Amino acid sequence: MKKLFKKKPAASTVQARAYHYDVILAPVVTEKSTAASEQNKVVFNVKLEATKEDIKSSVEALFNVKVKSVNTLRRLGKTKRFRNTLGKQSDTKKAIITLAEGQSIDLSAGVK
């Protein structure tokens, strides 16, 4: 796997903030992810190249929370037929973030 950057940028720079936004693409809001929020878990779509360390540092920097663990899964894109043409959906990667006790992320409020 290739890294997004060869060297991580310094924590306080604008480049670092952009790096964190490049790693985390969007929150996943489904019934299953909403049910997981009761167990201090949050689900995000992330870059395919992102490592668990990248994801952990990005969530901690963007949301000011303490991450306990990160689990990832890759979903390979399905082949779909549209009329007579075969197409392929994009591959996606999800990260299930377990937050430390007492920590929470309000996805409806947005990022500061």
pLDDT tens across 57-70, in order?
999 999 999 999 99
> What is the distance between the alpha carbons of residues 10 and 7, in angstroms, rounded to a whole number?
9
> What is the distance between the alpha carbons of residues 21 and 61, in angstroms, rounded to a whole number?
10
| Cα–Cα separations (whole angstroms), residue 16 to 19, 73, 103, 110 | 5, 25, 23, 19
pLDDT tens across 77-97, in order?
999 998 899 999 999 999 999
What does the pLDDT read at residue 18?
A: 83
Name the fold adopted by 14-99. Alpha-Beta Plaits (3.30.70)
Instruction: Please tell me the pTM assigned to this model.
Output: 0.79
> What is the distance between the alpha carbons of residues 16 and 38, in angstroms, rounded to a whole number?
31
Domain chopping of the chain, boundaries? 14-99
Residue type, 6: K
Instruction: Answer whether 70's CB lies under 8 Å from 52's CB.
Output: yes
